[in-house]
Structure 1
Amino acid sequence: MYVIEIQQTGGPEVLRLVERPRPELTGPDDLLVRVYAAGVNPIDTKIRQRGPMLPAGLPAVLGCDGAGVIEAVGEGVTRFKPGDAVWFCHGGLGGPAGNYAEYRVIDQQFVQAKPRTLGMVEAAAAPLVLLTAWEALHDRARIAAGQRVLIHAGAGGVGHVAIQLARLAGARVCTTVSGPEKAALAHELGAEFCINYRDEDLVEAVMDWTEGQGVDIALDTVGPEVFRRTIPAVAHYGDLVTLLDPGPELNLKEARLRNLRLSLELMLTPMLRDLPRARLHQGWILQRCGDLIDRGELRVHVFRTFALAEAAESHRLLERGAVMGKLVLDLDPSR
């Protein structure tokens, strides 16, 4: 089979198309999945640049998100059978178990049935961003109907599904964007108010929208500087959730005066720390989101697809910051 492998850290050029033996079932709960599509996420580019997050190390196959069809099952598998279509977020953090590959073996506990209304490309784009947005809004911030929510980078991978999940929870949403095309997508997905962060003052715009109160919840998907600038835009006793390390030099005086609840969200923790109960919860989240997708209440926006051999180009495009929604590697053997 063909995989995209990194043997050293560096730029996109270290992503190499190589041939490797097809993996075999080794445990009773294993599934052999023919991967039809693999999502491309910022974590992939960070591991490529900085190195694996797990002891398995290099060489490594990237890709946390995948969707495909089961070709074989272990003797203990009860939830699936050959021919079933599945989606999952597992692997890609070190060693050979990633989804930039034509085949992979994965334990049945990490897999869910693919939503029936989603194609393979859309299914592969979805798991990591859905899990991240759901955990940030529901588990960290405890979102409730009637709240006002600020979601940064609303046309991005996490941002565009976070807008929809917040609206489905009954919240009103504003978001930051960099231009009219991204604003149009954010409005289409349910954002009530868009702030062009290049031309407008974030705090002033939020205060105008909230009649001077600030937002009840803010979700930072960008990083330390945005986290810092968002603090005065959050209402007293509100929630500020960030997906990234806010950095060592952070003045939290204003956050303390506002009695903000500050939360960190990393959906990779159950993989990194081997937390079975947390993995079960994430499985429930995927099932819940799958139901919303099949009812037409939630969708994933795929910006562009690439062949497996074009993985380096997908990383270059993602790192340029021009993507709306998600990028996907299309491995469909019929194409």
Structure 2
Amino acid sequence: MRAAVLTGFGEPLRIQERPAPEAAVGGEVVVEVLAACVPPYADEVFSGERRYPLVPPVVPGIGGVGRVVHAGPDATRLRAGDLVWCDSTVRSRDDALTPDITLQGWSSRGEGGARLARHLHDGAFAEFMRVPTENVFPLPAAAGADPARWAALAVHVIAYGGLLAGGLAAGETLLVSGATGNLGSSAVAVALAMGAGRVVAPGRNRAVLDLLAERFGPRLRPVPLTGDEAADRAAMSEAADGPVDMVIDLLPPSAPSSVARTAAMTVREYGRVVLMGGVGMLGGDDLALPYPWLMRNSVTVRGQWMYPRTANVGIIRLLASGALDLAPERVRTFGLDAVNEAVACAAEHSGAFDRTVLLPSGGGRRSG
């Protein structure tokens, strides 16, 4: 098979011929990869800037849409030819409470995660990939008409997992810190699809704030940020027009902790704050939420890395029902030979509802 291979950090991806993966007797599925999202920060991973624990040579890629080629005997419903979503969040099977985790073809956590990464080393930037059976989820037939658009699952399932972690309920007010970014704008769309009463969307990018307001109407409350913590907190609280039930932070590593703190401290008494972004990953000040404020207001703060397996089923249902609409998203697609062009495109077009998608098993460049 043909695959895009990271041979070393700081090197361009190279197209190589590799043996097609073979599944173990049980517990694994081989999938032909039709479409895989290229994250906007992929160039930072491949350059080594983000210091991800990838071990070259490696086929990168974080999940994808594909068709089942082979399923083992312990798969009772999957069949060859089924259209599926392949979740990259792989968990060890020998610890139900605190499983080790690797993001297949992308990252890992701790020594246990590194062991998983050595076993499931390669990701979705290839014509075929080997995936744990429990990470393969059937897609509706409609997804087969545009698998590139459905590859946005890689983004939306993360935001959905964070909203589940915070227990977002229908009718509640949510504040999305980092709302104008690629992942933050996804959280806006997913929250409204889940029935949020209103979503407060702070950000510095006026054009994206206008885009969000135009797309989602009065339930979306945009707030231009000024950098003045007190003024920004007051503006966000005013936009909510009532208590903020939950805050989710999805800011990138480049964002200062003060922005995340300002947003978090808009939450009401007994409110919830979910941290899913990258603040502090590249250095800088800690979040430093005030102890008295947390204690006296009974605020729950939760960190959330990725999402539970069941989130894949939930987000697929939201998409299949039409509650979460993929039609307005701008999708740029590239064939496998243009993988480095795709990485550059993803970095350049990293805004709200911009998707760059690799088509490993065929297809070329188009936009839509």
TM category, shorter: 0.7 to 0.9
**1:333: which partner in 2?**
362
**2:183: which partner in 1?**
158
Identity of aligned residues (%): 25
1:207 aligns with 2:237: yes
Q: Secondary structure at the match of 1:286?
A: helix
Cα deviation 1:137-167 (Å, max 9, x = unaligned): 122x111233211113335433233223322
**How far apart are 1:245 and its partner, in Å?**
5.0
Task: Give the letter for the 2:251 counterpart.
Answer: V
1:251 aligns with one of 276, 288, 299 = 288
1:179 aligns with one of 179, 202, 206 = 206
1:106 aligns with 2:127: no
Cα deviation 1:181-211 (Å, max 9, x = unaligned): 5532454146521123369953232122234
**1:278: which partner in 2?**
none
Task: Give the letter for the 1:220 counterpart.
Answer: D
| 8 Å CA contact retained: 2:251, 2:279 | no
What is the aligned-residue RMSD (CA, Å)?
2.8
Cα distance in structure 2, aligned partners of 1:258 and 1:137: 21
TM-aligned CA distance change 1:83 to 1:182, over 3 Å? farther
TM-aligned CA distance change 1:317 to 1:186, over 3 Å? farther
**How far apart are 1:29 and its partner, in Å?**
3.3
Q: Secondary structure at the match of 2:344?
A: helix
Cα deviation 1:62-82 (Å, max 9, x = unaligned): 111201111223344322111
1:1-335 to 2 correspondences below 5 Å = 1-10=1-10, 13-41=11-39, 44-48=42-46, 49=48, 50-53=50-53, 57-90=55-88, 91-93=104-106, 94=117, 96-118=121-143, 119-126=146-153, 128-139=154-165, 141-167=166-192, 168-177=194-203, 178-181=205-208, 183-185=210-212, 187-189=214-216, 191-197=219-225, 202-211=232-241, 215-223=244-252, 224-247=257-280, 249-253=286-290, 255-256=293-294, 257-267=296-306, 281-282=308-309, 284-300=310-326, 301-320=329-348, 322-325=350-353, 326-333=355-362
Cα distance in structure 1, aligned partners of 2:139 and 2:244: 35
Task: Give the letter for the 1:209 counterpart.
Answer: A
TM-score, scaled relative to structure 2 = 0.75
Cα deviation 1:67-117 (Å, max 9, x = unaligned): 111122334432211111111222213564200111111122110011333
**How far apart are 1:298 and its partner, in Å?**
0.9
| 8 Å CA contact retained: 1:307, 1:329 | yes
TM-aligned CA distance change 1:220 to 1:24, over 3 Å? same
**Residue-pair matches, total:** 315
| 8 Å CA contact retained: 2:250, 2:278 | no
TM-aligned CA distance change 1:65 to 1:202, over 3 Å? farther
| 8 Å CA contact retained: 1:303, 1:324 | no
Cα distance in structure 1, aligned partners of 2:224 and 2:339: 31
**2:101: which partner in 1?**
none
Cα deviation 1:255-277 (Å, max 9, x = unaligned): 42544221112117xxxxxxxxx
Cα deviation 1:248-297 (Å, max 9, x = unaligned): 633221742544221112117xxxxxxxxxxxx42x32222222212211
**1:271: which partner in 2?**
none
Cα deviation 1:11-30 (Å, max 9, x = unaligned): xx432222212112233233
Unaligned 5+ residue runs, structure 2? 89-103, 107-116
Task: Give the letter for the 2:122 counterpart.
Answer: A
Unaligned 5+ residue runs, structure 1? 269-280
